[in-house]
Amino acid sequence: MGNFILFSFFTSFTVINVFLSSLATAVPCGGSCKTLNDCDGQLICINGKCNDDPEVGTHFCPGSATSGGGSCLPSGSLRCNGQTKPTYTCSPPVNGSTPATLTLNDFSAGEDGGSQSECDQNYHSNSERLVALSTGWYSDGARCGRMIRITASNGRSTTAKVVGECDSRHGCDAARAFEPPCDNNVVDGSDGVWKALGLNEDLGRVQVTWSMA
C-alpha cells in the first residue's frame, strides 16, 4: 500500500512538472524563437520572434507583427529555407523623419539587384545615389524619380533618387534568386548612398531615417 501511494505521488509530480515545463517554454508575443513550435498558442515564429500568424488572421500581438511599426500588418507569409517570412502590401506611415532599415543593393547589370529598375527599366551605375523602396513606400511607382533625404545615426545625410521597388510581397523563388521578401521598412541603397553617408558597407543593414527631399 505504501509503495502504491509513493508511486502515485511521483506519477502526479511528474505530470505536473511536465505541464509546468510546457507552460514555461511557450514563448509569448515578441519573444525569441527558433521553430514554429516554440511559440505560445496560435503564435508562429517569424524572423526569430513570436508573432500572430498572418494566414490564420489572429491578432494576439497588436502592432508587434510589423517590421517597422505603424499599423501595417502582414498580408501573408512565405517559407524560405525553413523559416517563415511575412509579406506586406503596406509600409509604415511616412513623416519628416521616418525610421527605416538601409540595405545595400547593386543596381548594375548582372548583379544581385536582379532585373532592371522598375521605374525606368534600366540598369544604373552604383556610384549614383539611388534607392529602391519597400512596396508600401514605393506606392505603385508614385515616388519614381523623386528625391528622398536619408539621415544616418552618425549625423550625415544625403539625397537619393527612387528608381525601384524592394518587393515586400514576393520572394523565395527562382525569379528572385530565392531571396526572402523585403521587410516593409527598407530603403535599399546603392554604393553611392552608403559612401555619401560614410557607412561601412560590410554591415549590410543599418538603421536610418528618411523623408521626401
The per-residue pLDDT for range 118-174, each reduced to its tens digit, is 899 899 999 999 999 999 999 999 999 999 999 999 999 999 999 999 999 988 887
C-alpha cell at 71: 499599423
Question: What confidence score (pLDDT) does residue 70 get?
Answer: 55
Please check whether residues 105 and 29 belong to one and the same domain: no
Q: Which of 18-32, 72-86, 93-107, 113-127 has the lowest mean pLDDT?
A: 18-32
Asked if residue 114 belongs to a domain, the reply is: yes
Assess whether 53 and 107 both reside in one domain.
no
Predicted confidence (pLDDT) at residue 91 exceeds the cutoff of 90: yes
Q: Which domain holds residue 41?
A: 25-64
- Scan for cell 502590401, then name that residue: 89
In the predicted model, what is the mean pLDDT of residues 91-98? 94
Whether 154 and 53 map to the same domain: the answer is no
34 and 104 belong to one structural domain: no
Q: Using one digit for the tens of pLDDT, what is the confidence trace for 10-35?
A: 444 444 444 444 444 677 777 787 77
Better-predicted residue by pLDDT, 177 or 152: 152
End-to-end CA distance of the chain: 84
Please identify, among 10, 38, 64, the residue that sits at the C-terminal boundary of a domain: 64
Cα 194 to Cα 201: distance, rounded to the nearest angstrom? 7
Q: What average pLDDT does range 172-189 have in this prediction?
A: 86
| Per-position DSSP letters for 50-108, written without gaps between them | EE--TTTT--SSTTTT-SS-TT----EEEEETTEEEEE-S--PPP-TTEEEEEEE---S
Whole-model pTM over 0.75? no
Out of 64, 86, 114, a domain closes at 64
